[in-house]
């Protein structure tokens, strides 16, 4: 039996009253005494600190690394300017999504962050397909996310350069005596940062940041409700090896040059779906009433025909009602379309909704 791993902030989580659960092989806080609802509201109105050290951090070094990496993803990586980050995904030969990730041009190397549950697959995939380049998993650094409208004030008082960053920009700078990589991005729909910090400093730095009256710790529970309201995909639920980027409505991540040139795994299917349209689409679903619809719930048209399935669902505290994501046949994907959800044997009325459910507040 594999031992559950601990991040460098484990002792701090326990000290702060974090309810620890196993997630992707790691012991992580699902919530703190404030509770998921309180942590969600904290992030939307002030700022919240999340430990995301379970995600894998990787450096790719060598001349031409960006061009080589581009052959694994459908996004423009070779043209990514220094100091810029980009959301993308590994695709397979069938056009499915192997994982989604963030790639940053760190100047003389690429900095890549991949999901915890897929780290072994992704690192192996990169090592197998980037021969001649160094693929280095960073094992001595943790990762925190400081998210919310007050995040810029909380972080920039200790690292003034952070205030100058715009959404999807990254910089290496001093933070409380440690050299850290600060990137203005996140998974909540709010303004904020992900900060890569040496393990030797992450507990100390997190404690100093948490002295700020505007910042409180938050766990995986609030992270999920926040991303769901923001309409952000969760790998393994909303996207996987059977879903294409076009079906998942992630077209923005495939820039014009890549659409014209192709040359990435699964390009035949993906480019055909751009041209012809996919057979199904990921959409927002708003159930009528207060009961949420969870992953696996069947979606039916009003005449009783099965047209899709819920992939993520829950209660949106800021939206003040249940929200969900799911795939429906493209003919039923228009906003405002009435559908029914089969929840525990009973039909629940719902409507197709545009996402995000809650306005995204990134610093453009």
Q: What is the pLDDT of residue 364?
A: 84
User: At CA 202, angle to CA 168 and CA 119, rounded to 5?
Assistant: 60
Average pLDDT over residues 39-51: 98
* β-pair partners for 313: 324
User: Cβ atoms within 10 A of the Cβ of 223, count?
Assistant: 27
Domain identity same for 132 and 181:
yes
Number of domains within the chain = 2
User: Cβ atoms within 10 A of the Cβ of 332, count?
Assistant: 20
Average pLDDT over residues 221-228: 98
Domain identity same for 184 and 236:
yes
Indicate the pLDDT class of residue 86, thresholds 50, 70 and 90.
very high
Domain identity same for 2 and 97:
yes
Please write the tens of the pLDDT for every residue from 11-29. Answer: 999 999 999 999 999 999 9
Average pLDDT over residues 64-70: 98
Residue 283 has pLDDT above 80, yes or no: yes
Domain identity same for 258 and 352:
no
Please write the tens of the pLDDT for every residue from 297-325. Answer: 999 999 999 999 999 999 999 999 999 99
3-state secondary structure the chain: CCCCEECCCHHHHHHCCCEEEEECCEEEEEECCCHHHHHHHHHHHCEEEEECCCCEEEEEECCCHHHHHHCCCCCCCCCCCCCEEEEEEEECCCCCEEEEEEEEECCCEEEEEECHHHHHHHHHHHHHHCCCCEEEECCCEEEEEEECCCHHHHHHCCCHHHHHCCCCEEEEEEECCEEEEEECCCCCCCCEEEEEEEHHHHHHHHHHHCCCCCEEECCHHHHHHHHHHCCCCCECCCECCCCCCCCCCCHHHCCHHHHHHCCCCCHHHHHHHHHHCCCEEEEEEEECCCCCCCCCCEEECCCCCEEEEEEEEEEECCCCEEEEEEEEEHHHCCCCCEEEEEECCEEEEEEEECCCCCCCCCCC
Please write the tens of the pLDDT for every residue from 113-156. Answer: 999 999 999 999 999 999 999 999 999 999 999 999 999 999 99
Greater confidence (122 vs 1) lies with 122
Average pLDDT over residues 207-220: 98
Residue-range definition of the domain harbouring residue 124: 1-278
Please write the tens of the pLDDT for every residue from 320-329. Answer: 999 999 999 9
pTM for the whole thing? 0.96
Domain boundary among 278, 313, 343: 278
Q: What is the pLDDT of residue 83?
A: 98
Q: What is the pLDDT of residue 151?
A: 98
Average pLDDT over residues 337-353: 96
Domain identity same for 262 and 293:
no
Residue 3 has pLDDT above 90, yes or no: no
CATH number of the domain at 260, please: 3.30.1360.120
Residue 1 has pLDDT above 70, yes or no: no
Please write the tens of the pLDDT for every residue from 130-142. Answer: 999 999 999 999 9
Domain boundary among 278, 298, 327: 278
């Amino acid at each position: 039996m594999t031992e559950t791993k601990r991040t460098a902030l484990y002792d701090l989580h326990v000290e702060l009253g974090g309810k620890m659960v196993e997630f992707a092989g790691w012991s992580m806080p699902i919530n703190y005494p404030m509770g998921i609802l309180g942590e969600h509201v904290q992030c939307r109105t002030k700022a919240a600190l999340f430990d995301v050290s379970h995600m894998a951090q990787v450096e790719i070094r060598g001349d031409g690394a960006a061009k080589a990496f581009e052959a694994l993803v459908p996004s423009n990586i070779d043209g990514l300017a220094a100091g810029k980050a980009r959301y993308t995904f590994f695709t397979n030969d069938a056009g499915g999504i192997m994982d989604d990730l963030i790639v940053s041009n760190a100047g003389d190397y690429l900095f890549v962050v991949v999901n915890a549950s897929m780290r072994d697959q992704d690192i192996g995939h990169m090592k197998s397909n980037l021969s001649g380049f160094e693929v280095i998993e960073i094992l001595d650094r943790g990762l925190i996310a400081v998210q919310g409208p007050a995040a810029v004030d909380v972080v920039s008082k200790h690292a003034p350069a952070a205030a100058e960053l715009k959404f999807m920009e990254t910089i290496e700078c001093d933070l409380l005596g440690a050299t850290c990589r600060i990137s203005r991005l996140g998974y909540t729909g709010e303004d904020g940062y992900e900060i890569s910090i040496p393990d030797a400093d992450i507990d100390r730095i997190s404690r100093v940041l948490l002295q700020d009256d505007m910042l409180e710790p938050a766990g995986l529970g609030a992270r999920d409700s926040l991303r769901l309201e923001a309409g952000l995909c969760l790998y393994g639920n909303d996207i996987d090896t059977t879903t294409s980027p076009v079906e998942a409505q992630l077209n923005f991540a495939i820039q014009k040059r890549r659409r014209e040139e192709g040359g990435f795994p699964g390009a035949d299917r993906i480019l055909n779906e751009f041209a012809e349209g996919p057979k199904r689409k990921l959409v927002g679903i708003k159930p009528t009433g207060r009961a949420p619809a969870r992953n696996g719930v069947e979606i039916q048209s009003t005449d009783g025909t099965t047209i899709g399935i819920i992939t993520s669902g829950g209660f949106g505290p800021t939206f003040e009602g249940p929200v969900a994501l799911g795939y429906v046949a493209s003919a039923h994907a228009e906003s405002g379309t009435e559908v029914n959800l089969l929840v525990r044997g009973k039909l629940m009325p719902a409507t197709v909704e545009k996402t995000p459910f809650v306005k995204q507040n990134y610093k453009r």
